[in-house]
A and B are shown apart, each in its own frame.
Chain A
Amino acid sequence: MAETLLFNALREAIDEEMGRDDTVFVLGEDVGVYGGSYKVTKDLYEKYGELRVLDTPIAENSFTGMAVGAAMTGLRPIIEGMNMGFLLLAFNQIANNAGMLRYTSGGNYKIPMVIRGPGGVGRQLGAEHSQRLEAYFQAVPGLKIVACSTPYNAKGLLKAAIRDNNPVLFFEHVLLYNLKEDLPNHEYVVPLDQAEIVRSGKDVTLLTYSRMRHHVMQAVKGLEKKGIDPEVIDLISLKPLDFETIGASIQKTHRVIIVEECMKTGGIGAEIIASINDRYFDELDAPVVRLSSQDIPTPYNGKLETLTIVQPKQIEAAVENMVALKV
């Protein structure tokens, strides 16, 4: 076991996969000589050379399309979005080409590529650098969307994403890069399509992902003291959703609270609620509650920013309320 920071776990994943498969390469802004804005590709330029760790000009739409073309012709690109928000500039290539081309080509081409980088609300980075693109991209057919949350799952999921033959949007969180965890010395891969049961419980199901997992776990500490026994599920895969795990939990607790960092309107939670209503309406003892970020551009002011995203105390209160209504 070796204590590893999350950004280094990602780096190890990329290094291992590049060593294992010479068609894997990294491209993006400052991934090479600079080592990545969060050091996820540190020293890989020296190790693998300028073509396999390709510093691109600031041209998100074009280098994303270039990765699609490289993937179509047999390479396995990993795009680093210096900040995932910048990939709004590559929306067309991600949606029309990465997402839909396999289908529109009638299966002629595969697009094995990973688009990864820091998303989420950081510390006073301002609205444009505090995006949660997972909600914007979830409607695009053909994309897999994954969010990591710990050094362990970050490494194993990224390795799985690189090996996947489909385009994977891989969300890291700007505030989680320095999380530490002991990682196994042996190689491991974490499946992309399985949610993680973080805490088993019986009273209520908390569905969450990315940094909100840690807010939820803070709330759980308070809830445990009050004798409440929540089940916490880290969704991991935001598309497709793992309804096997979600459904089993609902059948146990009959209550669901979604805690997400994306905005409420058109968010991941909105889709989950709709799907739960489709599949498990009869299992529910209470309406599904979602705790989401405010529908506003993330303000710079620190106090306002804190009010914009869900805080552990709000989660605690929401769970208490729901459990108090228990029939």
Chain B
Amino acid sequence: MVQERTLPPSQAPTVPISPEQGLMLYEDMILGRSFEDKCAEMYYRGKMFGFVHLYNGQEAVSTGVIKSLRADDYVCSTYRDHVHALSAGVPANNVMAELFGKETGCSRGRGGSMHLFSSEHNLLGGFAFIGEGIPVALGAAFQSRYRKDALGDPTADQVTACFFGDGTSNNGQFFECLNMAALWKLPILFVVENNKWAIGMAHERATSQPEIYKKASVFGMPGVEVDGMDVMAVRAVAQEAVARARAGAGPTLIECLTYRFRGHSLADPDELRSKAEKEAWLARDPIKRFEAYLLKHNLTDEATLKAMRDRIQTSIDDALTFAEDSPEPSPDDLRKYIFAED
């Protein structure tokens, strides 16, 4: 019997949702899952290149956090960024086109899977190295406070959500930025997606304190652990953290206990994780769990959910067509975007 670090369901606080909110969250999770499944298919068929890190299994985190934000809030991601981008509102067409290296991609084909950006959607990236996105997210949060307190703009109450993994929580930038965020009471959520594995390095083998949320206490910052397979639980802690941040009360560290259903990247043979461990987590699939929640609370019915899944699948197919039909960047533009032109 594998002993997994999970939280009992009763411990997860939830706030009631309307049927519309329930379907919105479900749609976002299905979008993420279907998009990633299509990526895997395209990669294995040789149509997509580079390192591709899929998000399957972690959807409750992206949806639970990002759908608790406003459109003018900021999102900062890692190399596992497709689904964060989708939750942040970047159209699937433009994410898929980016993975195909097309001019219509959200980074105009220059970035690729690990470098998704959209200034329109306040998506700060897409950071491929461990930890480097955390200070960038901190900068966006500092900017909100600067506008509010140095420039006296009362509307500057934007919050930044910064995502990273368990492996990153052993990196200096994690500690340095937690310190500065707490010191300056910056409006930021540090969201750790603890999926237990940094490629082949098991979390317990990499850290002297596996309970990452406890590291917040050193900085006098609230640290929360939450069942990362339960979108309602993630949403509840995210909403509380967002409210705190927006009110000027500072940052929160949220550790989401989650699991990736695929290897680190599509190039990872995934030989180290045991069958028993994978099965234990697959049984906790966040999408199936949320379906059950919606049905149990009479927020929807099976036919509505199926119709939504079909509609999302169609939109993913459309995104694929859009990506394949889109033009490549022009060779004449090889040197474009090195410098700002103005």
Contact = CB atoms under 8 A, between A and B. Distances in A.
Interface string A45-75: 0000101100011010111111111111111
A298 interface: no
A141 B132 CA distance: 18
B50 to A, nearest CB: 12
Contact of B107 (A22, A25, A77, A104): A104
Instruction: Name the residue in B137, B139, B172, B176 with the highest tally of chain A Cβ atoms < 10 Å from its Cβ.
Output: B139
A66 B138 contact: yes
B117 A165 contact: no
Given A61-B172, A105-B107, A68 B337 contact: no
A136 to B, nearest CB: 18
B280 to A, nearest CB: 36
B176 A61 contact: yes
A73 B139 contact: yes
Given A65-B135, A70-B139, A104-B107, A22 B150 contact: yes
Given A63-B135, A66-B142, A141 B338 contact: yes
A104 B143 contact: no
Interface in A67-94: 67-75, 77, 92-93
Instruction: Name the residue in A70, A96, A110 with the highest tally of chain B Cβ atoms < 10 Å from its Cβ.
Output: A70
A68 B145 contact: no
B115 A93 contact: no
A299 B342 CA distance: 44
A120 interface: no
B222 to A, nearest CB: 21
A64 B138 CA distance: 11
A62 B140 contact: no
Nearest to B340: A165
B236 interface: no
Assign chain B's interface to a size class.
Answer: 35 or more
B342 A70 contact: no
Contacts of B339: 102, 142, 144, 166
A107 B150 contact: no
A105 B125 contact: yes
Contacts, number: 150
A103 B137 CA distance: 19
Contact of B139 (A68, A92, A96, A110): A68
A108 B150 CA distance: 26
A69 B136 contact: yes
A242 B105 CA distance: 35
Interface residues of A, number: 46
Contact of B146 (A51, A56, A72, A96): A51
Contact of B180 (A51, A59, A103, A107): A59
Nearest to B111: A104
Contacts of B134: 62, 65
Instruction: Name the residue in B76, B177, B342 with the highest tally of chain A Cβ atoms < 10 Å from its Cβ.
Output: B177
A183 B24 CA distance: 63
Contacts of B124: 69, 72-73, 109
Contacts of B143: 69-70, 73-75
Interface string B46-87: 000000000000000000000000000010100000000000
B150 A62 contact: no
B101 to A, nearest CB: 11
B117 A57 contact: no
A109 B106 CA distance: 12
A73 B129 contact: no
Interface string B77-118: 000000000000000000000000000011111110001011
A103 B151 contact: no
A253 interface: no
Given A22-B151, A57-B176, A65 B125 contact: no
A291 B74 CA distance: 49
A57 B340 contact: no
A73 B140 contact: yes
B176 A69 contact: no
B150 A25 contact: yes
B323 to A, nearest CB: 15
Instruction: Name the residue in A23, A63, A67, A107 with the highest tally of chain B Cβ atoms < 10 Å from its Cβ.
Output: A107
B74 A73 contact: yes
A69 B110 contact: no
A59 B338 CA distance: 28
Contacts of A108: 106-107, 117-119
Given A61-B176, A65-B139, A106 B74 contact: no
Interface in A97-125: 97, 101-112
Contacts of A144: 339
Interface string B170-208: 001100110110010000000000000000000000000
A249 to B, nearest CB: 25
B109 A68 contact: no
B183 A70 contact: no
A92 B136 CA distance: 12
A110 B141 CA distance: 17
Given A69-B137, A109-B124, 15 more contacts: A51-B145, A52-B150, A62-B177, A65-B138, A65-B139, A68-B139, A72-B136, A72-B139, A92-B129, A102-B337, A102-B340, A104-B110, A106-B108, A141-B338, A165-B342
10 contacts: A56-B180, A59-B172, A65-B136, A66-B142, A69-B141, A93-B135, A106-B111, A108-B117, A111-B340, A144-B339
Q: Which 6 A-B pairs give the minimum distances between C-beta atoms? A: A69-B139, A65-B135, A106-B108, A105-B117, A62-B176, A69-B136
